[in-house]
Structure 1
Amino acid sequence: MSETSLTIETILAPELTLCNVPASSKKRVLEFIAEQIHLHNATLGDTQIFSNLIARERLGSTGIGQGIAIPHCRLEGLEHVIGLLVTLSESVDFDAIDNQPVDLVFALVVPKEATSEHLELLSQLAEKFNDRTFCDRLRQSEDAITLFQRMTSGR
């Protein structure tokens, strides 16, 4: 394992950054995430990703409040962390801690062994998403390229 620390910039690919995704439910959002990651990396099964995301949600919602969710899971056989960022065209109920519907989702899929990296990335995301102005800028992104640039530049 390399010594470089993981950052949001190193795990988020432009093709896994999507704007105004239609979703009718939390389940549908998680299915969409699994499908997109599978399209990005065909060696990863969408069913396996979806099952792991659902299993993690059963432990407690990953809706962190203020319309934001960070669904995440560990995956056997994964070699590097994968991030996916979407804005939803309409907010969906995510059982968030503040009971607010979610429209900004950053998913994290990490190798089974990557415990410290996993926690570090969750902490980085929580810090970024704690900035309301930053979140508003993400929500106002008109297209995926802008969304990606705003997320990775932090401005």
Structure 2
Amino acid sequence: MNIGELLGSDRVHCTAEVSSKKRALEMLGEMLSTRLPKLTTGEIFDSLLARERLGSTGLGHGVAIPHGRLEGADEACAALLRLDRGVDYDAPDSEPVDILFALVVPTESSEEHLQILAVLARMFSDPETLARLRDAGSTREILDLLGRWSTGDGD
């Protein structure tokens, strides 16, 4: 599966003004709900927040991957939020987070969930990819950049 296929232009927001981790997760819930009609914004937000309570999904280097498995999600779906200023996210390196990639998958999709998270971890640990994401001037540029990454399962 191509990582860019998880996103859509309506689920990539650049330069959003967000003041807190909670507000960022709320925005991501709103963005994801446009693609997941069986789920409310609140249900998605609650799932992302519940996962954060288990431990921060901050990776370091200004990146977080909030994620969850949800009954009612028919397919894997993602949203990306790039912030002008990072928010405190309890990341392992204590750096503020300015790139949030939220992922929701169906409850039964454990293997797919892990494959996608593994690709995202590799992608977001690549300094060149991070620099290009932060410098991207448009949603299309971000989608093109992320579209180069794949789970390698032939999809």
What's the TM-score, normalizing by structure 1? 0.91
Structure 1 residues 32 and 54, CA gap change in structure 2 (3 angstroms): same
Q: CA RMSD in A?
A: 1.2
Helix, strand or coil at the partner of 1:97: coil
Structure 1 gaps, min length 5: 1-5
Deviations 1:117-137 (A, max 9, x none): 000000000001111111010
Structure 2 gaps, min length 5: 150-155
Structure 2 equivalent of residue 128 of structure 1: 123
Amino acid at match of 2:143: F
- 1:78 pairs with one of 51, 57, 73: 73
CA distance in 2, matches of 1:153, 1:18: 19
CA distance in 1, matches of 2:138, 2:16: 11
- What does 1:52-131 align with in structure 2 at a 5 Å threshold? 52-131=47-126
Structure 1 residues 77 and 41, CA gap change in structure 2 (3 angstroms): closer
Structure 1 equivalent of residue 152 of structure 2: none
Question: CA offset at residue 22 of structure 1?
Answer: 1.3
- What does 1:133-144 align with in structure 2 at a 5 Å threshold? 133-144=128-139
Question: CA offset at residue 15 of structure 1?
Answer: 1.9
User: After TM superposition, where is structure 1 displaced by more than 6 Å over at least 4 residues in a row?
Assistant: none
Helix, strand or coil at the partner of 1:40: coil
Structure 1 equivalent of residue 153 of structure 2: none
Overall identity of the aligned pairs, in %: 42
Deviations 1:2-37 (A, max 9, x none): xxxx33133222221221111100000000000111
CA distance in 2, matches of 1:123, 1:139: 21
